[in-house]
Amino acid sequence: MPRIICVAGARPNYMKIKPVMDALERRGAEVVLVHTGQHYDPAMNDVFFADLGIRPPDRFLGVGSGSHAEQTGRVMTAFEPLLDEVAPDLVVVVGDINSTLACALVTAKAGPLLAHVEAGLRSRDWSMPEEVNRVATDRVSDYLLAPSPDAAENLRAEGYRDDQIHLVGNVMIDTLLANLERARASDILSRYGLKKGEFGLVTLHRPANVDDPEVLTGLLKALGEIAGRCPLVLPVHPRAAGRLAEIGVPGGIRLVPPTGYLDFIALQDSARVVLTDSGGIQEETTALGVPCVTLRDNTERPITVEQGTNVLAGRDPARIVSTVHRVLDAPPAPRRPDLWDGRASDRIADVLLAGGTASTRPRPTDQPRPKDRTFPI
């Protein structure tokens, strides 16, 4: 059976890589888990491994923080000799963080096949570092594992071959459904004195929202108005903690420490509404049937708007307030997209283990450039 490296680097990766690893190992593959250490805070790392039952990584690169260039470069420098030593048949990367792109670039140059889980997601907002990461990762991947029909269509429109594109569903939902009953057994509501359906949940972490004091001040003003109708709970992301302390948080917004995976799912599941700038939370709330208001002008997960419970509100404070009031007055009907059924990881494993080897499978560079298509890079 093949030897497969699965790469994780930060909190958004953990929920995606765990079910894929499990599905591959159930089929007899030798899986080597590599953790790049892009997230190194125990509150963002260790508790998620424990909650999800992820075994300790086989290799830990410990790259830490830094600018995008520094972090990406350190991951590449550390991953290259590891790849040479382990000599895998296939490398699996997930999502769109710096570690995803760094390991993808090293793999594409070294020779093993490369699979990208969550391929084809597009916000079309080039100011988002994640958009650059996901587009570039797709370009050098052999297997493009799309979570939704819009993602697969994006890939077709960009000229990728049909044999590269596989519509497999959403691995985040595999993890959510596998852990939902455990999450519902959490005591976090009683710990914080909350009641189901009587509070809103907020997350803020994107640089566009938390690094600009003027933007963050406007968002907090909007949240303060909303809290007058629906008290809000805000687990504080390390990126936002200092900024929030500087600006000050309006009354009705309760700051709490970062939560583990199970506790956070419990909060989402019990919230009356969720306000977020996270892509993954747009997906989780859709699966849970909980109204979600996204504090961004765009989303790389439009299926959560078209078929789910997500509403885009942008970052204008007045629009955010009016959107939340509208959602509270008339919550969207719960709908779960096709293939968000808890079996995406099984479909991924079937695709990967049925493929060829690096010497027999056509590579991304083998495809012609159609004259009427715009390539991503």
Q: Would you give the distance in Å from CA 259 to the centre of its chain?
A: 16
Residue identified by tokens 């490296």 is 5
Cross-sheet strand order for the sheet of 232-235: 253-256, 232-235, 200-202, 273-276, 292-294, 310-312
Q: Using alpha carbons, select from 372, 310, 300, 363 the residue that is nearest to residue 336.
A: 310
In sequence order, which residues have a C-beta less than 8 Å from that of residue 113 and are 6 or more positions away?
Answer: 89, 90, 91, 142, 143, 355, 357, 358, 361
CA gap 280, 287 in Å, rounded: 11
Residue 324, both tokens: 């939340």
How far from chain centre, in Å, is Cα 51? 17
Determine the angle formed by the axes of helices 11-26 and 344-354, rounding to 10 degrees.
60
Any catalytic annotation for residue 205? yes
Among candidate residues 35, 68, 205, 325, the one labeled active-site is 205
CA angle 98, 70, 114 (to 5 degrees): 35
The DSSP code sequence of 20-64 is HHHHHHHTT-EEEEEE--S---GGGTHHHHHHHTPPPPSEE----
How many residues make up the chain in this entry? 377
For the annotated catalytic residues, the residue numbers are 205
